[in-house]
Amino acid sequence: MNVTSLFDLNGRSALVTGGSRGLGQAIAQALAFAGADVAVTARDVASLGETVRLIEDSGKRAFPFALDVRDVDACSRVVEAASQALGGLDILINNAGTEEIRPALDVDEALWDRIVSTNLKGAFFCAQAAARQMSGFGRGGAIVNLCSLTSYVGIPTAVPYGSSKAGLMGMTHALAAEWAPLDIRVNAIAPGYFRTAMTDVFYQDAAWQQAMLDKIPQRRFGAMEDVAGAVVFLASGASRYVTGHCIPVDGGYLASI
């Protein structure tokens, strides 16, 4: 058995939402390195320039699309357009997300709707549109959702975010069970503490950094490339009998609490 070939994504096509920076950009680049052609989305298509360059530098085709995942109709249109551009769709990475820290007593409807509509509703309707494309081509596919440590544990001042990510975990389980007969696998990863544009405000506090490092057995924060192996595994034939699961990529944080 050629184990290496199980991770080969040559001839596969992928769509990554929220691919302009951070984890989304790293995931798009990793899929391209593994051999996939990659479509990427962001609310501002101009922000995808660097990601497109990284994909093309890997020798693969890149297709940028503007998408606000809170717009259900746009999710359907863009996923279909990406599938047409790619010549089919094999992989969806639901990465688009947002977060805002606010005490629960101060959360208003607008904040709740913005976070939950982005992180949960948007992920579902992108998955639904992707599944229609995957089943239409008759070759199945793989969907990977970006969950969070808050899918497992409660974090004060992050109630809307944690609610959306716990919901995303439930969605992963349910879709995996429902779409298995279509040969569509649905899994997730739960990144631990990674410094991104969205989370940078926390890392500006040295005391917070030390407190977090003390809770992580590996005693370091995640690097962008740390998500690459887990995502490629879940997107590739190496995980063809794995569905409905979430892999924490957290340096041992969840195992230690």
For the domain 3-256, what is the CATH code? 3.40.50.720
Confidence class for position 138, pLDDT limits 50, 70, 90: confident
Inform me whether the pLDDT recorded for 168 exceeds 90: yes
Per-residue pLDDT, averaged over 162-176, amounts to 98
SS3 14: strand
Residue 192: partners with Cβ closer than 8 Å, 6 or more residues away = 149, 216, 221, 222, 248, 249, 250, 251, 253, 254
**What is the pTM (predicted TM-score) of this model?**
0.96
| pLDDT value of position 199 | 81
Inform me whether the pLDDT recorded for 136 exceeds 90: no
Domain assignments of the chain as residue spans, ordered by start: 3-256
Confirm if 41 and 78 have CB atoms less than 8 A apart.
yes
Confidence class for position 201, pLDDT limits 50, 70, 90: confident
C-alpha–C-alpha distance, residues 38 and 152, integer Å? 30
Q: How much is the mean pLDDT over the chain?
A: 96
Confirm if 172 and 187 have CB atoms less than 8 A apart.
yes
C-alpha–C-alpha distance, residues 186 and 173, integer Å? 8
The owner of tokens 């298995």 is 180
- The predicted-structure confidence for 139-155, as pLDDT tens digits, reads as follows 899 999 999 999 999 99
Give the catalytic positions in this structure. 161
- The predicted-structure confidence for 31-68, as pLDDT tens digits, reads as follows 999 999 999 999 999 999 999 999 999 999 999 999 99
Q: What sign for the dihedral angle of Cα 244, 74, 57, 9?
A: positive
